[in-house]
Amino acid sequence: MTTNKQQPRIVVEQQFFTFAEPPNQMLLESGARLGPVTIAYETYGQLNTNRDNVILITHAFSGDSHVSGYLPGDGEDAKPGWWDSLVGPGKGIDSNRYFVICSNILGSCMGSTGPASINPKTKKPFGLDFPMVTIGDMVDAQKALMDHLQISSLLTVVGGSVGGMQVLEWCVRYPEMVRSAVPLATTMRHSALAIAFNEVARQSIMADPNWNRGDYYGKEGPDLGLAIARMIGHVTYLSDEAMRQKFGRRLQDKRDFSFGFDADFQVESYLRYQGSKFVRRFDANSLLYITKAADYFDLVDKQTTRESLHDLAEDAIKFLVISYSSDWLYPTYHARELVQSLKRSGQDVSFCEIEANCGHDAFLIPDERLSNLISGFLEGVPND
Amino acid sequence: MTTNKQQPRIVVEQQFFTFAEPPNQMLLESGARLGPVTIAYETYGQLNTNRDNVILITHAFSGDSHVSGYLPGDGEDAKPGWWDSLVGPGKGIDSNRYFVICSNILGSCMGSTGPASINPKTKKPFGLDFPMVTIGDMVDAQKALMDHLQISSLLTVVGGSVGGMQVLEWCVRYPEMVRSAVPLATTMRHSALAIAFNEVARQSIMADPNWNRGDYYGKEGPDLGLAIARMIGHVTYLSDEAMRQKFGRRLQDKRDFSFGFDADFQVESYLRYQGSKFVRRFDANSLLYITKAADYFDLVDKQTTRESLHDLAEDAIKFLVISYSSDWLYPTYHARELVQSLKRSGQDVSFCEIEANCGHDAFLIPDERLSNLISGFLEGVPND
């Protein structure tokens, strides 16, 4: 008997919460208004009577609310949620003890309102009429969901990459609600390099004639452009070392070069496969909006040049900052800057750089060290 | 009076050499045959009577034969050749002492035969009927030019990036002709990371409907795809540090975000500009062929797993290997591997890592240190 058969399969249903019905639309950071807004979310475990065992997980750029377990209707060969190795009964984030929530970010295409949603004004998909959203707007939508669930205290907010930006934004916007925070593989401000990669990805979508200025719903979409954007993404999620170990110069199904433009090398096939797979599950306009939100992310105020984290009260939030040694999208020096900034504002900060050769993607890969780090950290978070 | 006015403007004319006329076509590494082949080249300085003061410069992926000075017809505001800071009278590579040659690589579009050239069989541009060429084929074409110029000894072969690959290939193919070699910012074998970037660039061209399987000459070309390919290239030519210093998060002509898909950040404008500028001077098919040649480059024989450099006679060639500290396309560890390999084969090797924060592009940027290194190295190369 395998371990799989011994453990009951956990099935979780996606839920939906709709708010900001007109005329009480959501005010976005850009000044635009949006509503109604639907947020898709999933929960794991039970809310305790004190309502203080809540862990909010914030997902990365192309993620969704399906963190752990299976969805109703998932076949035998379906993969579990994207952080199944970390979240579940008895795991690093133990759903036997904690009430875990993850919601799909505003602007995405995995159940929450985004550019592919119906614009109530036109009864057609928004496309580029969807207003620009920021990381702060995503967090505000999550706050509305917490209010709806009558949750006013978060034991921790945890997430990696763009999810880590949301973690930090939660600390800035709603510090009174956040008892601890675990930003992983992330940054206080998007670097020029990260903006550059995002911009090339956006341009590759917008260069696809099927993009049609974002108006492609119900027609053939910008699949080729989106696939190339994803290929660029995958290069940044790995690392020189990761690619050398994973692919090296190994050839694909051949003993010699094709002397043509087929995929000769395994790394080429891998990227082509990742590109075409992504097209089946993700909306190109959502990529445009979410990458732009990431590019805008900066905890230093442009006008005052003041770091937002400086305004946190002393010891307001307990932090565990985690970086990965081979992450070249958000290298460890970004995490160190964050740690310095938090320490200057008097916070209780732990920092860990995890040795891993798999690049930025490391935070998504099952890793006992991460599970132990987080479960240990959670033990030390004071009660409300 | 400025220095510019004191120095006479050096004007160099591009020359052409055609060989491999049918039926004596050139045999390529793939087994295909190509001919006639035209090679565009420029020379600087005078060949001495011993014909032993020759320096061959091999250019990088998108370079050309115009290394230094000006072309006839260049306007007042024209820029000089791409290595003008290093090559010319009294400079690091002193054209008062040396006879300097640079030829445009086979497969390019800057005067030498490439996919945009006329296919003698069809009287139309080759397009994808152009055979795949390798770094070795490029070197063989340069060898034919040397034969034509009655040059049998090269004081040095020097080049960076894809030019550095040609330097190494010269040492392997024609060691008896090469007295010294200066490979800069290069590698013995293209890494998975470098292949990955090239593959995404190729895919972005091939996804452009105007590419039309390479058959676009005389019609609208794949300009959008080519521009994106170049943007990807420019990200790899810089570095995290270079971009942080050069652009950071500085905004473009604005005090605040556009909350739209305009170029908000200077790094975005820079990439868009570089992309659109490249389209005006480079052929998309040439990019496909040359990147593939770079990807194929590997001094380790696939069948025997033997390093070609091991077969060099002891002390056959004097080497100066140069890397740049912030080059993440061909990081210093690539150069160290090359140095180790050369030392194992008993060569006289000097190695220098130049501290520079400008990434892979560093070898193209005026740098007194590079000029001094090379001029000093050339002094020590024994006479024929």
**Which residue type occupies A10?**
I
> What is the torsional sign of CA A118, A121, A127, A132?
negative
> What is the torsional sign of CA A57, A59, A65, A70?
negative
Subunit contact B267:A196, Cβ cutoff 8 A:
yes
- Residue B152 has a pLDDT of 97
Give me the active site residues of A, please: 161, 327, 360
Chain A nearest CA to B10, separation (Å): 38
pLDDT at A50 over 50: yes
DSSP structure class, residue A359: G
pLDDT at A5 over 60: no
3-class secondary structure, A44: strand
Positions in chain B whose pLDDT score sits under 70: 1-7, 254, 302-303, 305
Co-location of B312 and B272 in the same domain:
no
What are B215-264's pLDDT values in tens digits?
Answer: 999 999 999 999 999 999 999 999 899 999 999 999 987 678 999 999 99
Co-location of A143 and A232 in the same domain:
no
Chain B positions touching A199 (Cβ under 8 A) are: 231, 263, 265, 267-268, 271-272
Q: Which of B290, B317, B349 is the last residue of a domain?
A: B290
Co-location of B236 and B179 in the same domain:
no
Quote the radius of gyration of chain B (alpha carbons, Å): 21
Q: Give the domain extent around A211.
A: 198-290
Of A141, A152, A142, the closest CA to residue A177 belongs to A152
What's the CA gap between B159 and B136, in Å, rounded? 15
Mean pLDDT of A219-232: 98
Question: Which residues numbered 327-346 in A keep a CB inside 8 Å of some CB on B?
Answer: 328, 331
* Model confidence band, residue A281 (pLDDT cutoffs 50, 70, 90): very high
Subunit contact B271:A199, Cβ cutoff 8 A:
yes
Burial of residue B120, with CB atoms counted within 10 A of its CB: 0-12 exposed, 13-18 middle, 19 or more buried: exposed
Q: Which of B290, B307, B339 is the last residue of a domain?
A: B290
Residue B384 lies in a domain: no
Q: pLDDT averaged over chain A?
A: 94
Co-location of B222 and B366 in the same domain:
no
Co-location of B264 and B349 in the same domain:
no
Tokens of A99: 């009430």
Domain count, chain A: 2
Co-location of B7 and B130 in the same domain:
yes
Q: Which of A265, A290, A315 is the last residue of a domain?
A: A290
Count of CB contacts below 8 A, A vs B?
A: 161
Q: The pTM is what?
A: 0.95
Co-location of A179 and A326 in the same domain:
yes
Interface predicted TM-score of the whole assembly (ipTM), two decimals: 0.94
- Residue B6 has a pLDDT of 54
Co-location of A276 and A208 in the same domain:
yes
B348-354 β-sheet, strand order: B15-19, B37-44, B99-103, B54-58, B156-160, B180-184, B318-324, B348-354
Quote the radius of gyration of chain A (alpha carbons, Å): 21
What are B82-124's pLDDT values in tens digits?
Answer: 999 999 999 999 999 999 999 999 999 999 999 999 999 999 9
Alpha-carbon A73 to chain mean position: 24
Give the DSSP per-residue string, B179-195: SEEEEES--SB--HHHH
Co-location of A106 and A247 in the same domain:
no
Chain B positions touching A196 (Cβ under 8 A) are: 231, 235, 238, 243, 267-268, 271
Chain A positions touching B265 (Cβ under 8 A) are: 192, 195, 199, 295
A374: domain CATH number? 3.40.50.1820
